[in-house]
Amino acid sequence: MTSAVIPALMLVLAFGLGSIPTGLWWAKARGVDLRRIGSGNLGANNVYRALGARAGLSVLVLDMLKGAVAVFAARAVLGGTGGWAVVSGVAAVLGHILSPLAGFRGGKGVATGAGAMLTLAPAAALIAIGVFAVTVAVTRYVSLGSILAAAALPLAVRATASDVTGLDWASVAIAAVIIGRHWGNIGRLLGGTERRFRARESP
């Protein structure tokens, strides 16, 4: 294979990993069409609302693994910690958001982006996760926590990460995609109609 073919295949693999609609399939196995429940989103938060904490946490972990495995695979095959691993992480996020296996629908990229960034820049990712956790604890808005965590990510990368080619632009791209996917939530937050997070028992 030529030198360009293998990186291209790794990007296809990363996108394919990201596109696995874990939330949709998990809910379907339990007789629930996630697209018709709550927000209709295919991410872990809507799974939690539809099926309870155990299902929501399981999908969250699986969605994070999609981003992490995409980065690990690129590093294992292509070597090093730079360029292609970063691009593979972004490709996994895009696959999660625009899954061809779910009619080019998906989640909002938060969990898969977190998995990729925990692998690429752990300190920065943990800062963003801390912003998310504090925001949700104080306000009970998962969407606001996701938006603020995404906004904090590029700043955290700049403050903590080094020697990873393209990581600055990748963190900005992931943040922009996540915030863009929350555009409807932003409108509801401003209008005071956004749903707050509520603890519930697994069914």
In total, the chain counts a number of residues equal to 203
Under 8 Å CB-to-CB from 121, ≥6 apart: which residues?
Answer: 156, 157, 160, 161, 164, 167, 171
197 inside domain: no
198 inside domain: no
Give the model confidence (pLDDT) of 90-149 as tens digits. 999 999 999 999 888 888 999 999 999 999 999 999 999 999 999 999 999 999 999 999
Phi, psi angles (nearest 5°) of residue 99: -70, 120
At residue 30, the 3 state secondary structure works out as coil
pTM: 0.89
Domain holding 178, by residue range, is: 5-191
186 inside domain: yes
Question: Could you tell me if 92 and 14 are in contact, meaning their C-beta atoms sit under 8 angstroms apart?
Answer: yes
Total number of domains constituting the chain: 1
196 inside domain: no
158 inside domain: yes
91 inside domain: yes
Cα-based angle 139, 116, 188 (whole degrees, multiple of 5): 30
Give the model confidence (pLDDT) of 149-186 as tens digits. 999 999 999 999 776 668 888 899 999 999 999 999 99
152 inside domain: yes
